[in-house]
Chains A and B, each alone.
Chain A
Amino acid sequence: MATILEMRGITKEFPGVKALDTVNLSVEEGEIHALVGENGAGKSTLMKVLSGVYPHGSYSGDIVYDGEVQAFRNIADSERQGIIIIHQELALVPLLSIAENIFLGNERAERGIIDWRETNRRATELLARVGLAERPETRVDDIGLGKQQLVEIAKALSKNVRLLILDEPTSSLNETDSEKLLELLMEFRRKGITSILISHKLNEISKVADTITVLRDGSAVSRLDCSSGISEGDIIRDMVGRSLEDRYPPRAPEIGGVILEVRDWTVHHPIHADRKVVDGVSFNVRRGEVLGFAGLMGAGRTELAMSLFGRSWGRDISGQALIDGAPADLSTVRRAVNAGLAYATEDRKTYGLVLDDTIRRNVPLANLEAIADTMVVDRHKEAEVAERYRKRLAIKCSSIEQETVNLSGGNQQKVVLAKWLFADPDILILDEPTRGIDVGAKFEIYTVIRDLAMAGKAIIVISSEMPELLGITDRICVMNEGRLVGEMATAEASQERIMSTIIRSTGDRR
């Protein structure tokens, strides 16, 4: 096999931060090359250097692609060479159709006039190649995240991709969709397309990767060849610099009385008012308990949580919420917070952070009173608080004065968590709390969750990673198509049992 790409001695600095320090990366033609490392290790940055997001001259070192030193000035330059990157955050235009998105900036047109027949024909072809059976005229916001990811790949294919870069493509996909995507990558390998895959899901990596490069603190610390078989433990050791004995902290739950009880909660879609997105859900959670919510994407878990939390989602919300046995007023976010509720979102960019603001200003945002003396913010207390959470959650940054927009994905997630931990709720709802977070940091977050539960708080964890739910919860509620379809003690639960609960319930309403 020939070497298709060699990055030599890449160094990239931001003001105050050396994100990459003489990194070498070499990728063989036709392989799946995995890039792993802790949050903030520099994975995304390295790929942005490769794809011309950071233009030639803004970094030092050489990119040798196809045997030639390349000097990409922008993404268009690298795309012309067949290097296509799919970023951590998807970049589709939600109001345009699948076909329009695929050919955006690259329209099938003659003298500026779009040939729709050709567009749709080619789109159908590409969709078939990625195994998507949607009509090309379908609007992108009408299909799920998993399918959107496939549309991104179809878009890459339309540009004659030779080197496909995927930055955490499966972080917001459920297991079935992830599986499908990985299959597709393996099929591409058979066709000679090279891929670079960034992921924190090590089981996926060990399944599909041919070679793994591990980044730590901006340096490439090792290169593992997978042909001889490699264990997740080996990868972890290189990533964090020590071996991790357990994935989940040991727990000894002390479960008290019911603190939150929800009865017959029903929520309608904000636009399609006749659609019930949450349908008569009843559940309770006790002090000191960690309650998990399992389900597929679109099961209505986020919608349930957001509608409970100050009616932040949906319309025509009905049902009852009792806190400590008394009806609770959760009608606005403020009231919900005062009642002791908190909700840490899964969508950090849209709902979680004020991106242009610093860590220092984001952390106390939900609990400004605590750092203020009758309306006047005490900036020293504020800095102290931000500093405390930076240490506690090991947020990797140049200082608490760094703007959150410049943090790595996983570290942004930690800032959102910090914000809600500081609000000191009695009932904490965590929506995909470890999305995009590395193994080491996951363990720390699990420990935080455990300690909160030990302190008598109730924690609700919504997660699409079943092993995680099985590892850290006491009880699991299973949701499907907006309804609660099962509930089991974690001790008696298994992935199979959860899956079969979901499958059995699918469609039995119709």
Chain B
Amino acid sequence: MKTAKTFSLLSLFVLLVTAWAQNPGYRVDPGWKVPPKAAVKKNPLPPTPAVLAGGKALFRAHCASCHGRDGQGGRRAADFHLAAVQAQSDGALLYKMSHGYRRKGMPSFSQLPEVQRWQIILYLRELGKERGHRK
């Protein structure tokens, strides 16, 4: 009885946390501008399995706590499967990740080496491919 109650409580907690980790209603903020010079930057890394594995691990380490383990979005954080997010250039996504948007809860990741930030961008593109873009 005791165990059953504790476990139902725990499952509910896990459900609650997982429920947060979805944000299909996410809208890209048009006020979050990316300078044209930053937006045209190209990812210098090739999408090899090794580089992607690193990107995935970095994503899980630094981004998943808000954006969800599979990039499905969090309570306020962007869903990376959305077409509006995937439609942005690599340079634009790198710029947003590096500069953050504190008022809206997105930290800046300028402290990560640039090569690792590009690895994460590669992984974000994989996420976009995995399930196809959501409208």
Q: Do A and B come from one complex?
A: no
